[in-house]
Structure 1
Amino acid sequence: MSGGRYRRRRGVRRYLNPVTVGGLFLVVVTAAPLYWMAVTSFRSPQEAGASPPRPFPEDPTLENYRYALDAADMDRYLLNSVVVCVSATAIVLGLALFAGYALARMPMRGRGPVMVGLLMISVFPVIAVVTPLYLVERELGLLNSHAGLIVPYVAFHLPFAIWMLRNALLDLPGELEEAATIDGAGPNRTLFSVILPQAGPALFTAGVFTFTATWTEFLMSLTLNSENDARTIPVGIALYGDRYQVPYGVIFAAAMAATVPIALLVLVFRRAVLSGLTDGALKG
């Protein structure tokens, strides 16, 4: 009896270490806003504004989702976001593959300054360039268009993708290219037939990061697209309210509709994402 009690106490102490407690705290802090968003999306307007708030909806309703999807131009915002994010991600991956291959596998002078420059661009704050970017796009006639968002999204997310692809390609053995050269393959065939399959995890990870970052981007979309027909999901959701009321239930319902697909994407492909991050992608 005493031995079983000792083992139970020992097991409890093992799980109640600082690392486990800290991890549980982070999970609760991270999940609490998501839980509250999900719960509020099923509340009526009266219940959403009740004080004090209740942890569960007393009379769950789907009206918020119906309004968000039918009467609030959600389909238009979804289409704009899909077109912009898919286009930007495809362009970023295509350019990053060529640039990463050149930086990792080909002889080149000034490789170090180029990598430092890419890193500096990756951490550059968007708010510092959004006003000049608006003036440039106004002169070029790119405001309120898909291209007006795709171009800056590619410019801001390409450096990180290049950095990830380059560091992943550094780990590949040189014998792969030597064998392809002996077989008569040129640089392009070597890249697409030999290198590309090996760089699949890193390429997929860069694509997921780029897509999620552009899907949730708010500041540039708000600044460059002022017309309702060109707005993406984050801006469209933020502008659901008016000067007299804020429909929290509708806003949270639309946010859930926009967040769940991205969360499922990351959840389903989490192993591939982790493989891309750890398979040399973050080495210097």
Structure 2
Amino acid sequence: MTAVSTTSGTSFLTGRPLRLAVGGILILNGLFPALWILFTSLKGEPELLRKPITWLPQAPTLENYLRAFTDQPLLLFLFNSFMVALLSTIATLFVSTLAAYALARLNLRFRDLILSAIIAVSTFPLVTLLVPLFEIMRALGLLNTWAALILPYIVLSLPVCTLILVSFFEGIPRDLENAAMVDGCTRLGALFKVVVPLSAPGVFTAGILAFVNAWDEFLLALSFNSNPALRTLPVGITLYQGEFAFPWPVISAALIVGIVPVAVLIVIFQERVVSGLTSGGIKG
């Protein structure tokens, strides 16, 4: 009986039930805040203040979404965030692709040291970089422009994107590049015509991470841009609060509107992102 009990306990700790339980907890932890924001966005102010708290909206309304677009220029915030995130992602992918290819293919003398430096740089807290970056942007005359956000976002996303792409490029056989160069391709041509297409899951993964980081960033967007016409979504959402009041339903509606583009992007490229993360982990 003891042996059976021990085996049963070991089976639970290492088997499917435990994995399902852990997965369920992680899913609940990730979904609960989003669901709470969604439910709040569908409530009116009186219902939100009612006690005891009602989890589900008793009288759902879309008025908060209308106010989210009329109380503040939400469409402008979305446009600014999208353009900044898109341009920084494109630039990040281009630079990180070149850097990753050099680290993966060229016989660099201090390759391991460079990789260690990239990992170290990626651990710097953003707040420690705020003052130096602000002084650089002011010296370059870039404050209150998209460039003041795009350039730092590129630098901040480069380490992670480069490490992801290095892992993928190292898994591509060199013979494929050599064959392309024999057929007349330059090394750059072989990179973009052979290596990058074969590393599509890694490229998509790096791109999604860079885009989401730029879309969600708040500290730099608040510090480097005081022009109302150039505010991004995270900063714009803070403008809904009044001096003595917080319209939580309206703020929640604006948050849901900001979550939707990223959620749609991840759903569309879900398979490639998952493939990129798992393949990168195996190769690394």
Q: TM-score, length-normalised on structure 1?
A: 0.90
Deviation at 1:282, TM superposition (A): 6.5
Q: Which residue of 1 aligns with 2:112?
A: 112
Deviation at 1:279, TM superposition (A): 2.4
* Amino acid in the other structure paired with 2:86: V
Q: Which residue of 1 aligns with 2:63?
A: 63
Cα-to-partner distance string for 1:259-280 (whole Å, 9 max, x where unaligned): 0221122122111001112223
Q: Which residue of 2 aligns with 1:260?
A: 260
Cα-to-partner distance string for 1:37-56 (whole Å, 9 max, x where unaligned): 00110111222222332012
Mean alpha-carbon deviation: is it higher for 273-282 or for 147-156? 273-282
Paired with 1:187 and 1:19, the residues of 2 have a C-alpha distance of 45
Paired with 1:85 and 1:21, the residues of 2 have a C-alpha distance of 36
CA contact (8 A) 2:204 2:269 kept: no
Cα-to-partner distance string for 1:77-111 (whole Å, 9 max, x where unaligned): 01110110000000000111111111111222111
| SS in structure 2 of the partner of residue 89 of structure 1 | helix
Q: TM-score, length-normalised on structure 2?
A: 0.90
* Amino acid in the other structure paired with 1:220: L
Paired with 1:282 and 1:166, the residues of 2 have a C-alpha distance of 13
Residues 138, 178 of structure 1: alpha-carbon distance in 2 compared, 3 angstrom cutoff: closer
Q: Which residue of 2 aligns with 1:75?
A: 75
Q: Which runs of 5+ in 2 are unaligned?
A: 1-11
Residues 159, 13 of structure 1: alpha-carbon distance in 2 compared, 3 angstrom cutoff: closer
CA contact (8 A) 2:201 2:276 kept: yes
* Amino acid in the other structure paired with 2:169: L
Q: Which residue of 2 aligns with 1:45?
A: 45
CA contact (8 A) 1:171 1:280 kept: no
* Amino acid in the other structure paired with 1:146: W
Superposition pairs of residues 98-247 of structure 1, within 5 angstroms:
98-247=98-247
CA contact (8 A) 2:216 2:234 kept: yes
CA contact (8 A) 1:80 1:230 kept: yes
Deviation at 1:238, TM superposition (A): 2.0
Q: Which residue of 2 aligns with 1:26?
A: 26
% identical equivalent positions: 36
* Amino acid in the other structure paired with 1:156: L
Deviation at 1:14, TM superposition (A): 11
* Amino acid in the other structure paired with 1:127: V
CA contact (8 A) 2:71 2:240 kept: no
Paired with 2:59 and 2:180, the residues of 1 have a C-alpha distance of 66
CA contact (8 A) 1:202 1:281 kept: no
| SS in structure 2 of the partner of residue 245 of structure 1 | coil
Q: State yes or no: 1:271 paired with 2:271.
A: yes
Number of aligned pairs? 273
CA contact (8 A) 1:118 1:159 kept: yes
Q: Which runs of 5+ in 1 are unaligned?
A: 1-11
CA contact (8 A) 1:91 1:154 kept: yes
* Amino acid in the other structure paired with 1:166: V
Paired with 1:38 and 1:150, the residues of 2 have a C-alpha distance of 30
CA contact (8 A) 1:168 1:281 kept: no
Paired with 1:161 and 1:126, the residues of 2 have a C-alpha distance of 17
Deviation at 1:27, TM superposition (A): 2.1
